[in-house]
Amino acid sequence: MTTPTTRNDHFDLGGDLRVSRMGFGAMRLPASTRGGAPNDRDTSLRVLRRAVELGADHIDTAAFYFHPSGPAANEMIRSALAPYPDGLVIATKVGPYRAPGDPYPSGQLPASGLRAEVERNLRELGRDSLDLVYLRPGGLETPLDEPIGERFEILAGLREEGLIRHLGLSHVSAAQLAEARTIAPVAAVQNRFDITQPADTEMLAICERDGIGYAPYFPLGGFGIPDDDRVKAVAARHGATVPQVLLAGLLALSPVMLAIPGTGSPAHLEENMAAADLALTAADLAELRA
Ligand SMILES: NC(=O)c1ccc[n+]([C@@H]2O[C@H](COP(=O)([O-])OP(=O)(O)OC[C@H]3O[C@@H](n4cnc5c(N)ncnc54)[C@H](OP(=O)(O)O)[C@@H]3O)[C@@H](O)[C@H]2O)c1
């Protein structure tokens, strides 16, 4: 039995915003590694245009994705892609605070700062309305237990005003998702997940049950491609690469799974996008999840 994971395989965010399940993450456009040197701007613009050519119609970004020396993901997306092709969905996230010279976000914006951050994304991307805005509470390792209602209500208000089409949540617990859903619909969740790590399967199950998109961050491990014998074995059987199996495995896991691998490399982009055509078998999946 095979599980087809082709580029024509779509998901309707919020029930009405259709995206291909193989998308693109923009965090690595300014720099490929956290704290690393900036990428060549022309190469990053080329990566973006090629991603769209290859069928990526779901780009994940944030105003706080920039290199301290200046290059920023939102600016690159606008420069490379505007006027935007019909159907291109740009998702962004708000919550983290990052000053211009900081290597990483250093904290959270106050609730009162969320409107300005949404307006900043609108301005930087050159759009009248944002397709999908995730609230991203907490730090990278912060426990997922803080109430998010006050901040989510502000985003829900901006949605009512028409500045945002759909809302999402990133780096949240099931309790935080439930809290947010008492305020407004949640179209997508973006938590950390890769096929080699069983964490967050409970959240994935909730998303699958309720038709919420699940667009994991660090789908390729985030800090280096995972060295995993199961993935290597499946890759060898298919004549595929390890990153391709990591991505095809994700897509095969659930119909609500949306891949947003990040790269600043044209060669890695080609490799990652080709993973959408890699059909894994049920036996492959069982081996990957063993
Ligand atoms: N919500 C959140 O808290 C959060 C956190 C992190 C990321 N994100 C989003 O999730 C997206 C995906 O996560 P991510 O980009 O951090 O991590 P990732 O996709 O797991 O991995 C990206 C890293 O892998 C490298 N890479 C990509 N393709 C490769 C390939 N085929 N072979 C070898 N290396 C490859 C990239 O470097 P090269 O440039 O050299 O390819 C980069 O260093 C981001 O772009 C961002 O949009 C969200």
Q: Tell me the CA–centroid distance for residue 263 and ligand 1, in Å.
A: 6
Q: Which of 143, 140, 141, 164 is nearest to 152 (CA)?
A: 164
Q: Tell me the CA–centroid distance for residue 197 and ligand 1, in Å.
A: 16
Residue 4: the pLDDT is 42
- Three-state SS for the chain is CEECCCCCCEEEECCCEEEECECEECCCCCCCCCCCCCCCHHHHHHHHHHHHHCCCCEEECCCCCECCCCCEHHHHHHHHHCCCCCCCEEEEEECEECCCCCCCCCEECCHHHHHHHHHHHHHHHCCCCEEEEEECCCCCCCCCCCCCHHHHHHHHHHHHCCCEEEEEEECCCHHHHHHHHCCCCCCEEECECCCCCCCCHHHHHHHHHHCCEECCECCCCCCCCCCCHHHHHHHHHHCCCHHHHHHHHHHHHCCCECECCECCCHHHHHHHHHHHHCCEEHHHHHHHCC
List the residue whose alpha carbon is closest to atom 48 of ligand 1. 217
Q: Which of 50, 251, 263 for a ligand 1 pocket mutation test, highest count of atoms within 8 Å of Cβ?
A: 263
Q: Tell me the CA–centroid distance for residue 66 and ligand 1, in Å.
A: 14
Is the pLDDT score of 39 beyond 60?
yes
Q: What is the CA radius of gyration of the chain?
A: 18
Instruction: Give Dmax (Cα) for the chain.
Output: 53
Stretch 240-257: mean pLDDT? 97
Q: Tell me the CA–centroid distance for residue 287 and ligand 1, in Å.
A: 24
Is the pLDDT score of 213 beyond 60?
yes
Residue 7: the pLDDT is 42
For ligand 1, whether the C-beta of 60 sits within 6 Å is: yes
Is the pLDDT score of 99 beyond 70?
yes
What band does 5 get if pLDDT is binned at 50, 70 and 90?
very low
For residue range 85-94, list pLDDT tens digits in order: 999 999 999 9
List the residue whose alpha carbon is closest to atom 38 of ligand 1. 263
What band does 50 get if pLDDT is binned at 50, 70 and 90?
very high
Residues involved in catalysis? 65
Is the pLDDT score of 225 beyond 50?
yes
For ligand 1, whether the C-beta of 264 sits within 6 Å is: yes
List the domains of the chain with CATH numbers.
Answer: 11-224+256-263 (3.20.20.100)
Residue 6: the pLDDT is 46
Stretch 43-56: mean pLDDT? 98
Poorest-confidence range of 144-148, 266-270, 275-279, 285-289?
144-148
For residue range 10-26, list pLDDT tens digits in order: 999 999 999 999 999 99
For ligand 1, whether the C-beta of 38 sits within 6 Å is: no
Are the C-beta atoms of residues 18 and 12 closer than 8 Å to each other? yes
Q: What percent of the chain is modeled with pLDDT above 90?
A: 88
Is the pLDDT score of 271 beyond 60?
yes
Q: Which of 28, 34, 195, 242 for a ligand 1 pocket mutation test, highest count of atoms within 8 Å of Cβ?
A: 28
For ligand 1, whether the C-beta of 54 sits within 6 Å is: no
Residue 144: the pLDDT is 74
Q: Tell me the CA–centroid distance for residue 25 and ligand 1, in Å.
A: 7
